Structure 1
Amino acid sequence: MEARLEPQIQNNEEIKTVLRKVDVTYQLSDERSVETLLVYLPPNSTNNSLTHFFSAIKNGIMANFVFKCSEIEKKLGIKKDGAANRLFEKAIRKLSQHTAQGELGELILFTLMDVYLEAPKLLSKISTKTSRRVPVFGADGVHGQFYDGKFKLFLGESKLYKDFKSAASDATKSIKSAKDKYQDEFDLIDSFMDFPNLDVELEEHLLEILNPASNSDLEDILHNSCFIGFAKPELHECTSDEFQQKYIDIAGEYIGDFYRKLEKQELSVNKTVLMILPFECIDDLVKQFIKYMDIKK
């Protein structure tokens, strides 16, 4: 069956002007290639860049991150004045200041997977939360992608830490845990799978692929995605001309550190995509996010 999963976010070109990609590839010290995505907010205009990013979140990302596609289509299909704003306000009520840092990391993971990897989320865990102050358990994101006719299921992990290497240590442990508990994720997919242009034929096809009981090649399908946001204030002191090269140099050390820790968890480096994004200050980032979105306690 020839298939393609449609990205969910509609304002992806706007997002690419705010979360910019560095065109660079990486190899480990033993010359093995690894899949990485380096993104950044335009330097020397941090506050303005954050405002643009938060605006993009408010104008399209947030509702898509929180809700099932079918619910969004239903709400916006009514075409009443203020429908999009009411959907955003309902999405914000799923978040709390207590969980905002983790959920911002998950939101960025969702955004990068959809916009840059064209791998939409297969289910919305956050929409099923019964308490806004309780974080989502298991994988931080479950995304899918058809590539060269083969299906990839990405179990996602996100960390928004001050220190990259601490984030890498915790992230690789979480990735291992999520992979070991794949059956829990399959049960959720089986019950709540929802993404753009999902029809009965495609749903049945995916469920057959992902069912551990019917697919003996599940190891070939399971992949990992990891987003790490970290503080690197000295990067934001660079001129525009200096920024990219300094970022590439710093990233080289961090990428090697992450994949070494991944292999210590007995996970394959060629089945894990690492996405990174430096900020000036994580605490300030989260405070500004809470204020801009007006997230309640």
Structure 2
Amino acid sequence: MGCTLQTQLENAHQIKDVLKKVHTTFKLHDGRKVETLLVYLPCIEDSKTLHDTLFECVRDGILQNFVFSYHEIQKKLGKTSDTAMEDLFDKAVKKLSRHTAKGELGELILFTLLDVYIQAPKLLSKISMKTNPRMPVFGADAVHGQFLDGEFRVYLGESKLHKNFKSAATDATSSIVSAKSKFEDEFLLLDSYLDFPNLTDELEERILEYLDPYNSSLSNRIHSPCFIGFTQPEILFVDEASLLEHYTKLSCQYVGDFFNKAESKSLDIEEVTLLMLPFGCVDELVSEFISYMGIKK
């Protein structure tokens, strides 16, 4: 019997207006269809993407839901007045640092796309476990899940924010292999900290049984979504139709490069999804993120 896991972000329609989807599909040179999600930020007259609009969404709820588990947030909302989300934002920012902000911004975008577009909720809140904001998150950058055709699929997500897409793809495919090889560590965390909005004792037991690496084969149960944010200012036109045309054309090359590298690492391309988002300059994006969020340390 199937089951739908409830996602954590409640304003998906608003987020989709900021992280907009390109409605296109891709096939490799041999005709095989691959899973992709191309998103982009709307442009303004000076051809700069609307970073502030994205950051406003992050501040209004994405960051809190990225950092903390659903039940941590509900506990805070139940105890505090109208300032609860702002209090959670202040607490969440303290988990971040200037040293780790680039990686955490990529992970935050990956979390958002998996929740909003893939409709796979977060199962672990790793950032909330950090005791030092300068510490990186170990293992997969995101652990999400959903039921598909009655079977449970766990998503071990990887994210890269990089100036160059192809360099990011090289690093990302290696990270995917590493994350899959260490799934036992993720399972031990899931066994202790599994959490999402409509979790019940029965559902928890069922999911852990599906994913137990000690008792069952994990074949076809681990999927690897990979988010790559990259610098590509020349395709960010004021005219949205031109942006979509140039973005889609460029992506044909990038999608092929990514999946070729995935296969060179012996990854099954049917178990990998590529998520892409171009920026005018990744370094400027990260700098603006640090400033807008007020990350001090």
Question: What TM-score range do you get, normalising by the shorter chain?
Answer: over 0.9
Per the TM alignment, residue 241 of structure 1 is displaced from its structure 2 partner at its CA by: 2.4
| Partner AA of 1:200 in structure 2 | D
d(CA) in 2 for partners of 1:174, 1:48: 29
Residues 203-222 of structure 1: per-residue CA shift (max 9 Å, x gap): 00000000012223x11201
TM-score normalised over the length of structure 1? 0.97
Structure-1 residue corresponding to 2:177: 176
TM-score, with structure 2 as normaliser: 0.97
Output the amino acid matched with 1:63.
Answer: Q
Q: Is the 8 A contact 2:95 2:128 kept in 1?
A: yes
**AA at the equivalent of 2:211:** L
Opposite residue 159 of structure 1, the aligned amino acid is K
**Paired position in structure 2 for 1:269:** 269
Aligned length: 296
1:109 alignment partner AA:
L
User: SS of the counterpart of 2:219?
Assistant: helix
The residue number in structure 2 matching 1:188 is: 189
Distance (Å, rounded) in 1 between the aligned partners of 2:49 and 2:126: 31
Task: Name the residue aligned to 1:246.
Answer: 246
- Displacement of 1:246 after TM fit? 0.7
CA contact (8 A) 1:186 1:211 kept: yes
Determine the structure 2 residue equivalent to 1:163. Answer: 164
Q: Look up the SS of the partner of 1:63 in the other structure.
A: helix
Following superposition, the deviation at residue 31 of structure 1 comes to 0.5
The 5 Å alignment of 1:190-205 reads: 190-205=191-206
Letter in 2 for 1:18: V
Match of 1:54 in 2: 55
Note the C-alpha offset of 1:48.
Answer: 6.5
Between 134-143 and 46-55, report the one with greater CA deviation: 46-55
CA RMSD of aligned residues (A): 1.1
Q: Distance in 2 between matches of 1:219 and 1:14?
A: 36
Equivalent residue for 1:286? 286
1:129 aligns with 130
CA contact 1:122–1:142 (8 Å) conserved in 2: yes
Q: Following the alignment from structure 1 to structure 2, what is the Cα–Cα distance between the partners of residues 149 and 8?
A: 21
**Aligned equivalents of 2:237, 2:18: Cα separation in 1:** 19
Contact kept, 8 Å, 2:106 with 2:159, in 1: the verdict is yes
Q: Which residue of 1 aligns with 2:41?
A: 41
CA distance in 1, matches of 2:243, 2:43: 7
Equivalent-residue separation in structure 2 for 1:273 and 1:220 (angstroms): 14
2:236 aligned counterpart, secondary structure: helix
The residue aligned with 1:6 is 6
Q: Describe the SS at the equivalent of 1:219.
A: coil
Q: Is the 8 A contact 2:48 2:280 kept in 1?
A: no
**Any gaps of 5 or more consecutive residues in structure 1?**
none
Runs (5+) with no aligned partner, structure 2: none
Query: For 1:228 and 1:42, how far apart are their aligned partners in 2?
Result: 18
SS at match of 1:155: strand
Letter in 2 for 1:249: K
Task: State how far apart, in whole Å, the 2-side matches of 1:31 and 1:2 are.
Answer: 31
In structure 2, how many angstroms separate the alpha carbons of the residues matched to 1:225 and 1:200? 27
Asked whether the equivalents of residues 44 and 240 of structure 1 are also in contact (C-alpha less than 8 Å), the reply is no
- Per the alignment, do residues 86 and 107 of structure 1 end up closer, same or farther by CA in structure 2, a change over 3 Å counting? same
1:15 match? 15
Paired letter, 2:295: I
2:87 partner SS: helix
Tell me the amino acid that sits aligned with residue 2 of structure 2: E
Measure how far apart 1:146 and its partner are: 1.1
Q: Percent identity?
A: 54
Separation of aligned partners in 1, 2:239 and 2:72: 44
Equivalent residue for 1:214?
215
Which residue of the partner structure matches residue 257 of structure 2? 257
1:28, 1:256 within 8 Å by CA — same for their partners in 2?
A: yes
Following superposition, the deviation at residue 50 of structure 1 comes to: 1.2
Higher mean C-alpha displacement, 276-285 vs 45-54: 45-54
Residue identity matched to 2:110: L
